[in-house]
């Protein structure tokens, strides 16, 4: 079995657990199409937050499957084709505006000035979605959704797609939303 390492764009290089060969193709083809930071956690704005994200990501099993990530316009097409939108932002973020038809199950909760992972995330998702449902997962900027989609894929959800750029990119592209 061939392995590759996924690295994060920080002032220093930090590499996560080895990715399975299946993930390698998806991840690196995305890099070629959208640039080196596509679908990867970036620390350009908030280094402490990104380090916490990396810590949580490294807690995932080394057997974690990195799901495919698509731009918001592709995600919108998938939504129109019958996929369901799982919004993993906080309740306050969700209530401020969301893609039409989105279902909110927070991946993380705001705790003081930080974030804490929802300990019941998998159970809550399992109560709404089946393991074979086609799910597109979005958050505000694409970081939480990638972690959530990876966790769902590792838990056996087979139709999971991450939305690169999140709700911010959704709004910037003028895609349908509701409040």
Position 131 in a domain: yes
Q: Are 44 and 87 in contact (CB under 8 A)?
A: no
Q: Decide which of 12 and 153 is more confident.
A: 153
34 pLDDT above the threshold of 50: no
pLDDT in tens, 121-178: 999 999 999 999 999 999 999 899 999 999 999 999 999 999 999 999 999 999 999 9
Residues 6+ apart with CB under 8 A from 174: none
Number of domains, the chain: 1
Here the CATH number for the domain that contains residue 103 is 3.40.250.10
Position 59 in a domain: yes
Position 2 in a domain: no
Position 16 in a domain: no
- Mean pLDDT value across residues 75-103: 96
Position 127 in a domain: yes
Position 104 in a domain: yes
Residue 9, strand partner residues: 42
Position 150 in a domain: yes
Question: In 54-158, which ranges are E strands?
Answer: 68-70, 84-87, 98-99, 103-104, 108-111, 114-117, 134-138
Residues 6+ apart with CB under 8 A from 32: none
Residue 44: band (very low, low, confident or very high) from pLDDT cuts 50, 70, 90: very low
Measured in residues, the chain has a length of: 179
Active site residue 139: yes
pLDDT of residue 18: 38
- Mean pLDDT value across residues 7-21: 38
29 pLDDT above the threshold of 50: no
Position 8 in a domain: no
The dihedral through the CA atoms of 99, 25, 131, 140 has a sign that is negative
pLDDT in tens, 58-70: 454 445 677 899 9
Residue 134, strand partner residues: 159
> Can you give the residue range of the structural domain that contains 66?
46-178
- Mean pLDDT value across residues 5-32: 40
Catalytic one among 6, 79, 139, 169?
139
């Amino acid at each position: 079995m061939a392995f590759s390492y996924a690295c994060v764009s920080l002032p220093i290089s930090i590499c996560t657990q080895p990715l399975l060969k299946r993930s390698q193709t998806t991840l690196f083809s995305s890099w070629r199409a959208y640039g080196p930071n596509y679908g990867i956690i970036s620390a350009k704005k908030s280094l402490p937050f990104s380090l916490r994200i990396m810590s949580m990501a490294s807690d995932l099993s080394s057997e974690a499957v990195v799901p495919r990530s698509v731009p918001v316009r592709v995600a919108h097409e998938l939504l129109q084709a019958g996929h369901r939108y799982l919004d993993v932002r906080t309740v306050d973020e969700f209530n401020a505006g969301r893609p039409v038809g989105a279902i909110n199950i927070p991946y993380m909760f705001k705790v003081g000035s930080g974030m804490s992972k929802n300990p019941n995330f998998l159970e809550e998702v399992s109560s709404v979605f089946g393991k074979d449902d086609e799910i597109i997962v979005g958050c505000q900027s694409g970081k939480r959704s990638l972690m959530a989609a990876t966790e769902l894929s590792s838990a056996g959800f087979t139709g999971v797609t991450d939305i690169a750029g999140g709700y911010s990119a959704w709004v910037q592209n003028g895609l349908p939303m509701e409040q």
